[in-house]
A and B are shown apart, each in its own frame.
Chain A
Amino acid sequence: MRFSFPVKENSFRSAAHDERVTARIGMWLGIAFTVCFVTGLLSHAIQHPPSWFFWPSRPVWLYQVTQGLHVIAGVASIPLLVAKLWSVYPKLFGRPVVRSAAHALERASILVLSGAAFFELVTGLFNVAQNYPFQFFFPPAHYAVAWVLAGSIVVHVAVKLPVIRRALGEKVDAEPPERGTLSRRGFLRSTWLASGVAVVATAGATVPLLRKVSGLSWRAGDDPQGLPVNRTAFAAGVHDSARDPAWRLEIGGRSFTRAELEAMPQITADLPIACVEGWSESATWTGVPVADVLRAAGLSIDTDVRVISLERNSLYAVSTLPAEHVADPLTLLALRVNGETLNLDHGFPCRIIAPNRPGVLQTKWVHRLEVVK
């Protein structure tokens, strides 16, 4: 590119602005976005299950993997999106601005596509950092725009299919660039490198192998009892009520003291907490299976169970355990973690820890269990 004004479509001479480059980056961006979309829909369905939806309680690590993939694929998409847009940037200066009605529609659809893509990646990146500079509630907005993004990508692929086929059919040569800095192959390899760097820099949040090198992981630092805290007892307003000696676990007209729960047969299991925000951490939990508590209260275990926290006025103070999870002997009312009594921030006097569920549904400071008819 020379500094000449006005800038025209052919002012850009870099090898990056070539349909063979665009199509290859686009393909990988499409794959990454598909992973994000599918795992995101899954996470949404687990948290807001439609009547036809079924989510198993095993393998215990499944949600940890799907949600980890969601966030890792999102992070990997950031350099892919920027490289893709750089590859097609000269088209922005194509003249005439609008050639026909179909062309106008296509340009508008690309604006929607890039707006939705940036929206998803930027809000997602801020959300995993628990940083909320936007004046809207993250989950429903991220979910709604995900459909806009998915739809506009499919429309874009439909429009560009002949170009994509042609471009992917041609080889990418490595001839040194006449102008600019990188060859076509060099630009592609640099893009893959950037995606790899982005993943390595952050994925330690859920991949233990990368913990030491992922300096920009939002899961960091030393945590109490070897496990991060996503909401402290103080923030939840349960600092006093959770330590009240009068605390009882209420269930179907019965109530249990913590000592009574401790006297029941205990199960110890290694289970991960896998947060919707993409971090995960395994711990050794000890407690009473929820099914045993139900039986002790004389209730059937073939039912959904509503779990109610001491916490008030929070969206996440109540969760519903599906019957599938209730029946699983690894679904615990946990009393201990990693060999110690559960501390206040981890949900003392007792908390739910169930296999293969989002962390946000692993309700802490449990106060009452209710059978859902």
Chain B
Amino acid sequence: MITRVLLGLAGLAGLAWGGVLVYELVDRSFDEGIAIGTWFVAGPVVHDLLVAPVVAVVGVLVTRVLPAPFRAPVAVGAGLTALLALLAFPLLWRLDPAPVNPGLHDGDYPMALAVMIAVVWLGVLVSCLLARWRLSRRREDLS
């Protein structure tokens, strides 16, 4: 219990200091404060109302549509695809043009993303074939 109380107090102290730092930013520029607040709230809102429901729906579809041995590889493949797209997003989409900095953020990202997603789904395909082969061998053993 003492551990929990001490941890709790340390956490509250950290939170308070963070609050002071955030307050200083808001105090210096109210507009910046509004922008920080918006981005702060946007994360949980977008996640809880959009990302998680989409994950749930995809999960249900995967279980309804696919035979059991294929479900896990396809679900993992879908997750990895979304992850790679997320990582690529700031490199692919910009409000303002990127600063001209030779050697930075100037790779062929659409191609890289396509290749990585292709590798993921190749892995999914191999996993599915393996799962089917294992299943059919088990059936042969039984018969």
Contact = CB atoms under 8 A, between A and B. Distances in A.
Interface string B22-57: 101100010110011001111110011001100110
B90 A219 contact: no
A172 interface: no
Given A180-B63, A221-B106, A89 B52 contact: yes
Given A114-B43, A153-B11, A145 B104 contact: no
Contacts of B55: 86
A230 B60 contact: no
Given A111-B44, A215-B113, A216-B116, A152 B15 contact: yes
A82 B16 CA distance: 26
A146 B14 CA distance: 9
B128 interface: no
B99 A227 contact: no
Interface stretch (A63-71, A190-198, A259-267): A190-198
B143 to A, nearest CB: 22
Given A129-B91, A153-B11, A215-B116, A14 B39 contact: no
B10 A220 contact: no
A194 B83 CA distance: 8
A296 interface: no
Contacts of B16: 151
Contact of B25 (A133, A144, A152, A161): A144
B43 A122 contact: yes
A229 to B, nearest CB: 5
Contacts of A186: 72
A115 B102 contact: no
Contacts of A234: 100
From DSSP, what is the main secondary structure of chain B's interface residues?
helix
B104 A219 contact: yes
Contact of A151 (B14, B29, B39): B14
A220 B8 contact: no
A198 B86 CA distance: 10
Contacts, number: 241
A201 B84 CA distance: 8
Contacts of A3: 60
A195 to B, nearest CB: 9
A131 B10 contact: no
Interface in B68-114: 71-72, 74-76, 79-80, 83-84, 86-88, 90-91, 93-96, 98-107, 109, 111-113
B43 A155 contact: no
B87 A14 contact: no
Given A135-B35, A136-B32, A228-B103, A141 B25 contact: yes
B142 interface: no
A157 B13 CA distance: 14
Contact of B103 (A12, A86, A224): A224
Contacts of B80: 193-194, 197
B135 interface: no
A348 interface: no
A129 B113 contact: no
Ordered nearest first, which 4 A-B pairs have the shortest CB separation?
A118-B43, A215-B112, A151-B14, A223-B103
Interface of B: 3-5, 7-8, 10-19, 21-22, 24-25, 29, 31-32, 35-36, 39-44, 47-48, 51-52, 55-56, 59-60, 62-63, 71-72, 74-76, 79-80, 83-84, 86-88, 90-91, 93-96, 98-107, 109, 111-113, 115-116, 120
Given A89-B52, A92-B48, A140-B25, 14 more contacts: A114-B47, A131-B91, A144-B22, A157-B11, A159-B4, A180-B59, A180-B63, A181-B71, A181-B72, A197-B120, A215-B112, A220-B103, A228-B102, A228-B104
